[in-house]
A and B are shown apart, each in its own frame.
Chain A
Amino acid sequence: MNKGFLLFLFAAILLAGCKKDPDPEPTQPDSASYDQQSLLNNWGDEIIVPGYFAYTQATSDQKSFADAFISDPTESSLQAFSDKWKTSQKTWQSVSLFEFGPGSDHVIRANTNIYPCDTTQIEKNIQNGNLDLSGASRLDEKGYAAIDYLLHHATAAEVVQEFKADSKRGDYLKALVAEVDQLAQTVYQEWNSGSGNHVAEFKSATGSNVGSSLGIMINSVNMHLERFLRDGKVGIPNGERSFSGDPLPGHVEAAYKGDVSKEFIRANLKGLENIYLGTKQDGSNGMGLDDALNSLGAKHGDQALDAAIKSQIASCYSAIDAVPGTMKEAVVQDSDKVSELFKEFQKLVILLKADMPSSLGVLITYQDNDGD
């Protein structure tokens, strides 16, 4: 290998590499940066911790109203409790994507909100007085779906009658609301700066590698959007995953109450949007991913990536509103409208899973490994 040949090779490659017509570059800012620390502070102090705090208030309300109903089952105490159940599950939607740190240590999502529930097994548990609901096989016998079933599977008069007739039913319900509340309190305590202080750990894990808070948050947002919001709340009930295409109205969230599923989908999307925009618990705007993308000058085609994401989130809201009636009815009668919603979520997945991490320099990896 002589040097002359090497030089020739080198020159040839240089030429080959530069043959491409330079496309006009947009004017570049001389530096691209955002204050990641403010982002993490805002997420931790202003969204996650207050979010969990609000959630604990909702779960403890649900618990005390459940106790009131159980000790004196009437149609009005049932109605009062049902309202608190709804508030509690709706509040859950804003924190359900934080399945990391204490949330994942206690597997709060699976223990709180697996649906549909196994009604046969629930009735068996009530009869046998089985109140120990720990263990992976019991996930579909408790949580919000089970409470929904006990409260709403028949008319209010019938439900009151059931609870009056058998105190074991009340014991079971008590155990359900107690566990939901217990999980919420535990996770909140572990996050809170006063006790477990995971929030300090969260704020100090800067950077973008595996284990960084930014990476963890983006992974959680994506996983939640894809599996739990898009599939769980929309795709699966609409039969998107089965060859027959048969709708599964019983698989919508809160299937027994029936008329709150869309509201929960909205609330869940709102929770995701709050993380993206940095919207604080009090509704004011703080540092979010939108600010980060804008200061890095992230683009999507000709427009700013942030603009593309915001407009896609808006399209998702419109698609929720475009679904007529309740989710339960829509998957049967207006399946194509639900499919539209599914597709809008799909487009949001693409932006958040491919474009956003790539622009932030985050390695989307759910597993520690060496890159190259």
Chain B
Amino acid sequence: MMFVSLLRFWLKGWIYDLYVAPKHFFTYYGFDWVKPFGEMGMYFLFFGVMLAAIGIALGLFYRWSATLFFLGFTYIELIDKSNYLNHYYFISIVSLLMILLPAHRHFSIDVWRKPSLNRNTTAAWTIGAIRLQLGTVYFFAGIAKLNYDWLFRAMPLKLWLPAHGTIPVVGALLQKTWVAFAFSWFGAIYDLFIPFFLMAKRFRWLAYGAVVSFHVITGWLFQIGMFPYIMILATLVFFSADFHERLLGKLKEWVRYPEIDGNSLSRGIQARWITAVLVLHFFIQWAFPFRYLAYPGDLFWHEQGFRFGWRVMLIEKAGSTFFYAQLPGSDRRIEIRNSDYLTPNQEKMMSTQPDMMLQFAQIIKKDLDEKGYPDAAIFAESYVTLNGSGSRPFIDSNVNLAELSDTWTNKQWIKPFEQ
């Protein structure tokens, strides 16, 4: 599955567009050392991660593959914030869990190489961990939807759905205000409760039907790439063991996989260590999305604490931001052309996200230093519209952004979102 994803990425030329073409990259806080490897390097990295994906699927050198996949994929993601997507983050997290799981202990090339590894049963925690992670994604996405705009103004769906008004048959429906409300409420309820329904044996098929239709509809309406298909496959983990056994049985016949007996058990000490890691992992997973509570003001407006919180398809935000440079001792501000530095995609992302504005200010300053204009002050004028609010000033245009550095503290220079 991941292999297909990466291959699609490659074929669409996105490796070049996203990791080779841009002149500057927006790294993550604390990960400034992550840099792209140049053109050939990036292709090699992708190739390696693709091999690792195949390794995981076939169960070949499983732990090595999983580790390589996690490191490689995450590294790619860390290169540039502009490309942040919730489902990439999801893949990173799951691959981290996969390193810990003994998923190669049954029906895999590794077992075929070393029959002593075979195991027919697996401890409950292994499946549990993946289920819990999936449940977390849904549940938190659901929580994120519980806000005034989503529930009582049907925003942003009210903006997004009519754009599909040209689709035959249902197009006219999508333009109705009540449909946007229905979608909003259904989405919120679905996200909140689907994990529990999937857990319950009685509702499982019903719930899975909901999963498939939900993701097919959203995938069809919005430009979200592979995400729906990843989720549709991933939720299969909620099904019972014999369901999977039957599936695997068919596969086994097909590849003429030899019968292997033996049922080795895991060693206690390793298990205890893994448990500790898992507990810590989920603690972080559940606490981190709530960090926004520490920031005053409207989360969707300032986006402090927005990323890594499973806030999926939640807001419609657009902005135009103009940067100005001023040399010391002069009162003249000249405008910087964003396109000289950024790809259009980067510019679009930067225009609504304050932390990226700070980084961009640093990029401009450094460039001016090199061109022989040292110590320039960098100002930005930014206008942002959120969920159809109409554009309004986003930040204080008299603050020298070049003097600031990105921190976890509240950014005072963001103007409040006045209703």
Contacts and interface: CB of A to CB of B under 8 A. Distances in A.
Given A350-B383, A363-B223, A372-B224, A17 B391 contact: no
Given A30-B177, A369-B83, A354 B318 contact: yes
Interface in B161-209: 161-167, 172, 175-178, 192
A364 B384 CA distance: 14
B175 A359 contact: no
Interface stretch (B46-54, B57-65, B237-245, B327-335): B327-335
A175 to B, nearest CB: 32
A240 B335 contact: yes
A296 to B, nearest CB: 6
Contacts of A260: none
B332 A305 contact: no
Given A227-B339, A354-B384, A360-B163, A366 B86 contact: no
A251 to B, nearest CB: 15
Contact of B390 (A33, A299, A364): A299
Contacts of B385: 354-355, 358
Interface string A199-233: 00000001111100000000000000001000100
Question: How large, as a class, is the contact surface on chain A?
Answer: 35 or more
Interface in A351-369: 351, 353-355, 357-369
B152 interface: yes
Given A30-B178, A353-B320, A372-B313, A361 B148 contact: no
Contacts of B339: 227
Interface string B1-25: 0000000000010100110000000
Among A31, A235, A301, A354, residue most surrounded by chain B Cβ atoms (within 10 Å) = A354
Interface stretch (A18-26, A105-113, A146-154): A18-26
Contacts of B223: 209-210, 363, 369-371
Interface stretch (B112-120, B341-349, B354-362, B396-404): B341-349
A23 B155 CA distance: 14
B165 A36 contact: yes
A213 B205 CA distance: 41
Contacts of B317: 358
B390 A241 contact: no
Nearest to B178: A30
A354 B148 CA distance: 22
A364 B334 CA distance: 26
A364 to B, nearest CB: 6
Interface string B389-412: 011100000000000000000000
A23 B153 CA distance: 10
Contacts of B344: 365-367
A13 to B, nearest CB: 5
B255 to A, nearest CB: 32
Given A245-B334, A370-B223, A33 B175 contact: yes
B114 to A, nearest CB: 37
Given A207-B166, A299-B390, A362-B163, A370 B85 contact: yes
Contacts of A242: 334
A342 to B, nearest CB: 9
B337 interface: yes
B28 interface: no
A232 to B, nearest CB: 11
Contacts of A206: 166
Nearest to B176: A31
A119 interface: no
B176 to A, nearest CB: 5
A281 interface: no
A10 B192 contact: yes
A351 B391 contact: yes
A95 B348 CA distance: 26
A360 B156 CA distance: 11
A289 to B, nearest CB: 13
Contacts of A207: 163-164, 166-167
A32 interface: yes
B207 to A, nearest CB: 17
Contacts of B312: 372
Contact of B335 (A241, A299, A360, A362): A241
A91 to B, nearest CB: 28
Contacts of A318: none
6 contacts: A10-B143, A32-B177, A241-B335, A364-B318, A369-B18, A370-B85
Given A351-B391, A367-B344, A372-B86, 12 more contacts: A17-B146, A17-B148, A31-B176, A227-B337, A231-B337, A301-B390, A358-B317, A360-B163, A361-B163, A369-B223, A370-B85, A371-B224
Interface of B: 12, 14, 17-18, 83, 85-87, 143, 146-148, 151-153, 158-167, 172, 175-178, 192, 222-227, 312-313, 316-320, 322, 325, 327, 330, 332, 334-335, 337, 339, 343-345, 348, 351, 373, 383-385, 388, 390-392, 419
What 10 pairs between A and B have smallest CB-CB spacing?
A361-B163, A370-B225, A366-B344, A33-B175, A208-B163, A300-B390, A206-B166, A358-B318, A17-B146, A372-B85
